[in-house]
Copies of this chain bind each other. A is one copy, B any other.
Amino acid sequence: MSMIVNRRDLDFLLYETFDLESLLTEQRYADYDRESIEAILDLAQSVAEDKYLPIAALLDANEPEYVDGKAITIPELKEALAAYKDAGLCTTGYDADVGGMQVPDMVHQAINGMFVCANGPASNYEFLTQGAANMLIACGSQELQDKYLPKMVEGEWFGTMCLSEPQAGSSLADIRTKAEPVGDGSYRISGTKMWITGGEQDITENIIQMVLAKIPGSPPGVRGISLFLVPKVRVNDDGSLGEHNNIALAGLNHKMGQRGSTNCLLNFGETGDTIGYLVGGENQGLANMFHMMNEARISVGMSAVQYALGGYLYSLDYARNRPQGRPIGNKDPEAPQVMISEHTDVKRMLMAQKAAVEGAQALMYYCAQMIDKQKTSKNEEEQGRLALLLDLLTPICKSWPSEYCLEANKLAIQILGGYGYTREYPVERLYRDNRLNHIHEGTWAIHGIDILGRKVSIAGGAAVKYLAEEMAATIEAAAQWPELADNSQRLAKAGKQIQETLQAVAQSPDPALALANATLFLNAMGHVVVAWMWLKQAIAAHQGLVGANADDRAFYSGKLAAADYFFRYELPRIDTDLTLVANLDSTCYDLSAEQFVGR
């Protein structure tokens, strides 16, 4: 059993649930068939298992060190990243016209997922590069692309995203980094950026920082933010490296988890001129950044899923091999012990992990499929519909796994007991690593306000309507299996509860009160969407069961059991949340800071 991927389940998602094969018939993916996709996945799995996984604990125990303004990483990290690059896996996410492999996003996600599961902190360097490069592709001038993109696509140079500042984390309106025009079209960047993953490292010769900054005289707040490409080392016109661009590493953050990624405090323009280049239009920085934000946020969700997958696979393997105790009712102390996977509460903890991991994973592939359809569809109406659905689901993709896949990691520790609490086993590390995901790329609260305050009402509520239509279609498809009737009814009821809640919220006289329980709405909406994903998987499982062999029957019946688990153990929990949201409960809204502890 691999500890980084369940290929049987991946097949189930890609082919049986989300129909990758029909996507492969599109012109865009004409180079690929199922066999060649398998070969790429095999390659990725072997690099992830052989190079990334074995050094994960080592990297955690030997975090990067700050020495004389440099961030020093261990050589094993450099070797692992080189293996990834040498295998050409950097290029899976790019189109052919910029030198990429142009595989479907579903496949790209599957590949990246294996690397996160094997060693997320090592993967961050390359994945942030992909985000930065995609931003450059989407908004950068041809000149900038020609100069910087090829090296980023090849993995020769890494990239970053520099948004936050020490005094401005969630509130980008308050950033202070300045960009003053030099006169030749470039800008002099000055200011301090915080929380920059990969902002400094000793792995690549150059680092391409994508930096949010304000041009003097621009409007206050987010409407005055522009985006700049700022290289660590200046690049000459012939492509050779020039002088250092005066980005100083002021310090490294020492984190609870994700220790293998450098996380930096950077000073721009302090030791000399730091030159940057405008990407996209002046004052369009936030819009340009948000261009990539959906992708980044879905990546965060995927990463939360994969950390939990690691814990799930490890704890499952452990539970199947650790003898302890006897079944309830067997009081004979001389009877042999059973494997702990026989104890009902261990099964419950495994099932809770499976339901969270595989439910959230399905959502990730559903969104990846939509991204692929956006790229292949010629129908403008369909593209609009896909864009709205993706917009609506993005906060769920980001936040639901950050919460429930972290809970899964918590349960993985619990299954291993005392051993799980030690650093000799990976489950505690995965838990620490995963705790970040609720914080970066927008906190849980911010996504709650995003979905309830904005996404549910854009285009006159069209996204919610489209989602309801999609869910109804799944319920209809499920109708041919009477065994799914109960779960279908539960999903239909939950969908209705969401609608009623939205109607109640729309009546609020006070817009701030309407959003007082937005986080709870996001939580409940996530449960409904994941339940829907489980109904989709249950349909695929029933289809698969027809004529399946014994192994496959166990697999499919496990999918059906996990669907039942989610509908019975998880979905009903939305009642409390939605009641509070619909009632415009003001218990928290009304509080003043003095009430918490008294004098």
Q: How far apart are A533's CB and chain B's nearest CB, in angstroms? A: 18
Write 7 A-B pairs (CB below 8 A) sorted by A numbering. Answer: A173-B333, A253-B424, A339-B593, A341-B593, A345-B519, A554-B595, A569-B580
A: which residues have CB within 8 A of B?
A: 1, 6, 8-9, 164, 167-171, 173-174, 194-195, 220-223, 253-257, 313, 316, 319-320, 323-329, 332-334, 337, 339, 341-348, 350-351, 354, 406, 410, 413-414, 417-418, 420-424, 428, 431-432, 435-436, 438-440, 443-445, 448-449, 453, 511-512, 515-519, 551-552, 554-555, 557-558, 561, 564-565, 568-569, 572-573, 575-576, 579-580, 585, 587-599
Complex contact A598–B435 (CB within 8 A): no
Q: Which of B169, B329, B432, B587 contacts A432 (CB 8 A)?
A: B432
Give the CA-CA distance A221 to B494 in the complex, in Å: 49
With A344-B515, A512-B329: A418-B440 Cβ-Cβ less than 8 Å: yes
Q: Which of B432, B519, B593 contacts A320 (CB 8 A)?
A: B593
A421: chain B residues at CB < 8 Å are 255-257, 435-436, 439
Complex contact A350–B596 (CB within 8 A): yes
Which residue of chain B lies nearest to A339 when distances are taken between CB atoms in the complex? B593
With A351-B588, A445-B343, A512-B327: A316-B596 Cβ-Cβ less than 8 Å: yes
A9: chain B residues at CB < 8 Å are 597-598
Q: Interface of chain A, helix or strand or loop or mixed?
A: helix
A557: chain B residues at CB < 8 Å are 595
Complex contact A569–B561 (CB within 8 A): no
Complex contact B220–A328 (CB within 8 A): no
Complex contact B445–A345 (CB within 8 A): yes
Q: Which of B221, B436, B519, B572 contacts A579 (CB 8 A)?
A: B572
Give the CA-CA distance A223 to B334 in the complex, in Å: 12
A448: chain B residues at CB < 8 Å are 345
A169: chain B residues at CB < 8 Å are 324, 417-418
Q: How far apart are A497's CB and chain B's nearest CB, in angstroms? A: 14
A420: chain B residues at CB < 8 Å are 439
With A1-B597, A253-B422, A417-B170: A445-B346 Cβ-Cβ less than 8 Å: yes
A511: chain B residues at CB < 8 Å are 328-329
With A422-B256, A439-B420: A597-B565 Cβ-Cβ less than 8 Å: no
Instruction: Identify 8 new A-B residue pairs, CB closer than 8 A, beyond the known A174-B337, A194-B418.
Output: A174-B324, A223-B333, A254-B423, A320-B593, A328-B515, A329-B512, A341-B593, A421-B435
A418: chain B residues at CB < 8 Å are 164, 169, 194-195, 253, 439-440
Complex contact B561–A587 (CB within 8 A): yes
A168: chain B residues at CB < 8 Å are 324
Most chain B beta carbons < 10 A, residue from A254, A350, A597? A597
Give the CA-CA distance A325 to B354 in the complex, in Å: 38
